[in-house]
Amino acid sequence: MALALSASEVKAVLAAAPARAPVSRVLMARPDFFAVETAINPWMKDAAGNLHRVNRDLAQAQWAALKAAYETAGLGVEVIEAGEGLADFCFCANQSFPFHDSHGRPGVILSRMKSETRAPEVAYYERWYSRRGWRLHTLSPAVSSFEGMGDAIWHPARRVIFGGIGPRTSEAAWPEVSRIADVPVIPLRLEDPAFYHLDTCLACLNAESALWIEAAFDAPSRQRLKAAFPSLIDISAADAANFACNAHCPDGRHVLLQRGSAATVSELKRRGFEVMEVETGEFLKSGGSVFCLKLELP
């Protein structure tokens, strides 16, 4: 089954899928050229309609602290050097989707970025994978856009992908991703332009639970998520604006998220998660936080 569309199909796919180990390493991209140069999502302008101005030194410090937080949580961190002049390069969840196929071989599907300003980023990641011997895959011309792990999120415990359909990834991507990676996909349609990637409105925690912004999804997608997770934790409007749903739980225990989402932090702690609040305020100016700033490596 390539795509699981009904609640019963979602349950069947998750019951049949092989187990998936916790994430043990991530890739991060240095923010050496980070800036807000064009408004390609609703978060990049201030209330007056002006592009946000970035303090690059502060961004570097926040990035380094996030890297240290991953290392404290026991994950390995690999680093790809910044693409010169590429302002959004540091949001490294977007340029690729790496995976191990059903035979355990490393492969990667290269992204097709929606914005022309971000398209040159992909070549740097292609070279990074190529030098390490990964199998490289590209999607057919029928797929107008696909933005990697911004919209392709693994189930925490099963070899199944949640696939976002919205401003950055076209619906046509998912049958091809499913075939290439040999993995079922649960498609989720995004309805609110403010939540332009799946990783802005869904944060998977463990096999039972996830953070979500319910209003970001259409009705069929909500039903699929309810079938996938017995416990869906609603994010308040205030915490959603603070990118609480761009959190990352790599191991079912540690949750890294933007500092200041008190209600979400309280609920996570109540459920036994070890919360690691980090400051990503400079990156919020570009519409990204923790999940955007790293790429899960299989």
Active site residues: 197, 292
What six digits make up the tokens of 292? Answer: 């955007």
Q: Which of 293, 283, 257 is closest to 94 using CA atoms?
A: 293
**Number of helical (H) and strand (E) elements in the chain, helices listed first:** 8, 14
State the first-to-last Cα distance of the chain, in angstroms, to the nearest integer: 22
State the Cα–Cα distance between residues 145 and 155, nearest whole angstrom: 22
**CA dist., res. 245 & res. 198, Å (int):** 10
Q: What is residue 289's DSSP assignment? A: -
Closest CA to 48 of 58, 39, 56: 39
CA angle 253, 259, 262 (to 5 degrees): 80
